[in-house]
Structure 1
């Protein structure tokens, strides 16, 4: 007897053909890393590297060693962090996970096959069944679109994580260099205080110095010793934070830093419409939008499948000794008697509203961060400029005039030393002001999505804290 043909309906045949076309999703060549690489190049001017092989590790190590051969600049520290930060490399694995989910969503479900052989008396029964989950086939195009949005969201979030690592490296670099600068100045102050205490001791022994004045000099020297110890510890802590941010260890941790922070830019450009710029430029906001779209798509899928949770089509080929060969098909449908899918739809709607509110919260927080960081950026620049142009030059003028008076025997050495002590606060405040400006600029860049608008490019102008600190040695 001729076997009968399995009578698929045209609708099912069209759905399977569509799913077959949609099921051609394959792994991309870059694994989604192109978004991260482009963001690093366009927003930081740096190279982001995905390390997967020994050759990649050797290349990164060689470039790292080349950057470590000279005193690090801020840009060098950022680039080293992008090459070596292990936490960043771990976040890149999220790309592979998301892409694997996308590829899996675009593949047809595996068919099922069952076989049974029974006999009783003279009867022999053989049953063969081939099944396919049709519901998953029918919903596969929508599922693929949802996973595609999630993959794009993961790419944006991974690129945003890269920008955050770069910002953390910048902050750690600024703090480390400022700590080194403060430690050097603390040593200079300690040397001056030591000379002052030694002179006071000799004059007190000669009977030319009161016990009160002598105690004051000794107290100042003791305080400077404590300040030096504190500055040294702060330097160690700041360097270790920078070392962790750059992902260095062993001999690589013996890198050299410059003696002082970069100079203050000559001008501070006026920046406008920063909130709108941030809304368009920030990757976390773009990712939140995709998250909301993805959840909306999942809500549609939940509503589409609320009544039918399982739909299987099977082809049967049976044989019995009494009836001979039998062929046909079976359809298995889950009947919504107790569960009509309302809980599943309600859950999807709640997740959607959660995503909408999170998106709105992210946008509100971003706008606030932009306003706050821009205010700190403006005030930080003005304060650092004030110390550069007003406070430090005036302190230097006072020291120069007092030195002339001392050379003309119109001022004593203790007046010089007292003036040196008064300079300490001004110089330390100048260092802190310059550090705060660079930190504020980093915060503003991060709030805007990793970069400032093009108009925010300025050229450096020399900062004069070095000249101020040099007067400390002139007064000794």
Structure 2
């Protein structure tokens, strides 16, 4: 309690040692916002692993530059690489993920800030005597743990970078697959239209021949049935083409007139030789994002475990300056320390929880590595199988169908077969072409899946990483 007269102005003396300590902590804890630094690793991944540019549209000028670049890419038929580039520049969901980097950077800076000192003031009156009570206190536990907290937030920012990088890879893979589906749907639709035209011509010819008595009713009904089936298949192909194109449009982030982009008429040709990846598993272990994220998660959990052990006994530690003065007694100066006594809660449960979370992170890291090895082997096996099937379709099935068509044409010219047999063979040849398109589509999809498998499992990596981060953070927060 402080007792002073009305005319005695209050004073608060600062010890030189405390002033020097606070000044030193201010210099140590000094940090500035730099969101571009947090974006740099993600941008480098896009350039090194995907060979694509990434831009964070934080201002209107940035957005205008992106719009100009997207417009340039859409001026011509959109290839697979161009589609991926448009998505990485223009997808608003990815831009929202980039903002998480800014949030993480702000939290990093916040963790580096010194805690605000507290000031208490009290005024009591007893007759003519006025009592003033003043105090200044600083959370010393927060000051001592400042380096650990700063490092924890830096690790959390690194985890956010890994999550955002996984989303970048996921978007690139999804866009490439959507492009393959859209182009294959366009190509299949054109051949389905040819089938429809052939079926309509056959049905009309059968109707006219039946009218003059040169065709029986059963044959006419068969041709009409085929024409009806062809019309139904054409409607399905149109629906598939629309769905595939709209899915690609959403990933590209296009709307309005931009959505009227053009695609190539056909898929790229099958490569002459498949990829040979002898060090498949080693390559995956060195660059898969989910494996790297699991390793970072284990490191962060270990760091949080150290923080929990440090603060297991001292939960509340405050240092304050005290000055008591009175008009009847000399002024009293000094300091006081308050802390929580570990009489009931010795922190053992918190430490045990943190250790369990750490062991959990280790098991998850091992599980991620095991799954990654299996996934890349499966993806490469599917890739080689798809290449073999597409090559067989191209080199064996289609040439045989072509030779059959040529032989039937010779027989038709020699009047050995009729026009309906020739039309039926043409329909079979078009069906073989559609099968070839599907085989080529499956190959390019398998290659896209292999590329993604070598970089990670982006559909699950961000969610799993976020869950592990939340659990580890919860273990250290108590």
Q: TM-score, normalised by structure 1?
A: 0.90
Q: CA offset at residue 327 of structure 1?
A: 1.3
**What's the counterpart of residue 417 of structure 1?**
423
The structure 2 residue matched to 1:30, chosen from 15, 25, 36, is 36
Q: CA offset at residue 4 of structure 1?
A: 7.5
Farther off after superposition, 240-249 or 153-162: 153-162
Alpha-carbon spacing, 1:29–1:98, altered in 2? closer, same or farther (3 Å):
closer
Matched pairs, number = 447
Q: CA offset at residue 123 of structure 1?
A: 2.8
**What's the counterpart of residue 231 of structure 1?**
237
**What's the counterpart of residue 129 of structure 1?**
135
Separation in 1, partners of 2:129, 2:148: 48
Separation in 2, partners of 1:71, 1:376: 29
Say whether the 8 Å CA contact 2:135–2:323 is kept in structure 1: yes
Separation in 2, partners of 1:359, 1:100: 28
SS in 2 for 1:374: helix
Say whether the 8 Å CA contact 1:117–1:126 is kept in structure 2: yes
Say whether the 8 Å CA contact 1:31–1:95 is kept in structure 2: no
The structure 1 residue matched to 2:178, chosen from 172, 182, 191, is 172
SS in 2 for 1:163: helix
Separation in 2, partners of 1:175, 1:276: 31
Say whether the 8 Å CA contact 1:150–1:290 is kept in structure 2: no
Q: CA offset at residue 322 of structure 1?
A: 1.8
The answer to whether 1:208 aligns with 2:214 is: yes
**What's the counterpart of residue 339 of structure 1?**
345
**What's the counterpart of residue 357 of structure 1?**
363
Separation in 2, partners of 1:5, 1:193: 97
Q: TM-score, normalised by structure 2?
A: 0.89
**What's the counterpart of residue 388 of structure 2?**
382
**What's the counterpart of residue 251 of structure 1?**
257
Q: Extract unaligned runs of 5+ from structure 1.
A: 452-476
Listed as ranges, the matches of 1:276-287 within 5 Å are 276-287=282-293
Say whether the 8 Å CA contact 1:112–1:131 is kept in structure 2: yes
Separation in 1, partners of 2:366, 2:24: 37
Say whether the 8 Å CA contact 1:116–1:126 is kept in structure 2: yes
**What's the counterpart of residue 290 of structure 1?**
296
Q: Extract unaligned runs of 5+ from structure 2.
A: 1-10, 458-478
**What's the counterpart of residue 6 of structure 1?**
15
The structure 1 residue matched to 2:123, chosen from 117, 124, 137, is 117
**What's the counterpart of residue 43 of structure 1?**
49
The answer to whether 1:183 aligns with 2:189 is: yes
Farther off after superposition, 328-337 or 403-412: 403-412
Farther off after superposition, 17-26 or 378-387: 17-26
Q: CA offset at residue 359 of structure 1?
A: 1.7
Say whether the 8 Å CA contact 1:123–1:320 is kept in structure 2: no
Separation in 2, partners of 1:105, 1:141: 9
The structure 2 residue matched to 1:74, chosen from 72, 75, 80, is 80
**What's the counterpart of residue 147 of structure 2?**
141
The structure 2 residue matched to 1:312, chosen from 310, 313, 318, is 318
Q: CA offset at residue 410 of structure 1?
A: 2.7
Separation in 2, partners of 1:18, 1:326: 28
Separation in 2, partners of 1:281, 1:22: 35
Say whether the 8 Å CA contact 2:290–2:456 is kept in structure 1: no
Say whether the 8 Å CA contact 1:190–1:224 is kept in structure 2: yes
